[in-house]
A and B are shown apart, each in its own frame.
Chain A
Amino acid sequence: DVKVTQSSRYLVKRTGEKVFLECVQDMDHENMFWYRQDPGLGLRLIYFSYDVKMKEKGDIPEGYSVSREKKERFSLILESASTNQTSMYLCASSFKRDGSDTQYFGPGTRLTVL
Chain B
Amino acid sequence: AQSVTQLGSHVSVSEGALVLLRCNYSSSVPPYLFWYVQYPNQGLQLLLKYTSAATLVKGINDFEAEFKKSETSFHLTKPSAHMSDAAEYFCAVSDLMDTGRRALTFGSGTRLQVQP
Contacts and interface: CB of A to CB of B under 8 A. Distances in A.
A50 B45 contact: no
A99 B90 contact: no
B42 interface: yes
B102 to A, nearest CB: 3
Interface of B is mostly: strand
Contacts of A50: 101
A90 B106 CA distance: 13
B104 A45 contact: yes
B103 A42 contact: no
Contacts of A41: 108
A58 B99 CA distance: 11
A40 B94 contact: no
B80 interface: no
A84 interface: no
Interface string A73-88: 0000000000000000
A34 B34 CA distance: 18
A103 interface: yes
Given A42-B107, A43-B90, A98 B42 contact: no
Contacts of B44: 43, 90, 92, 103, 105
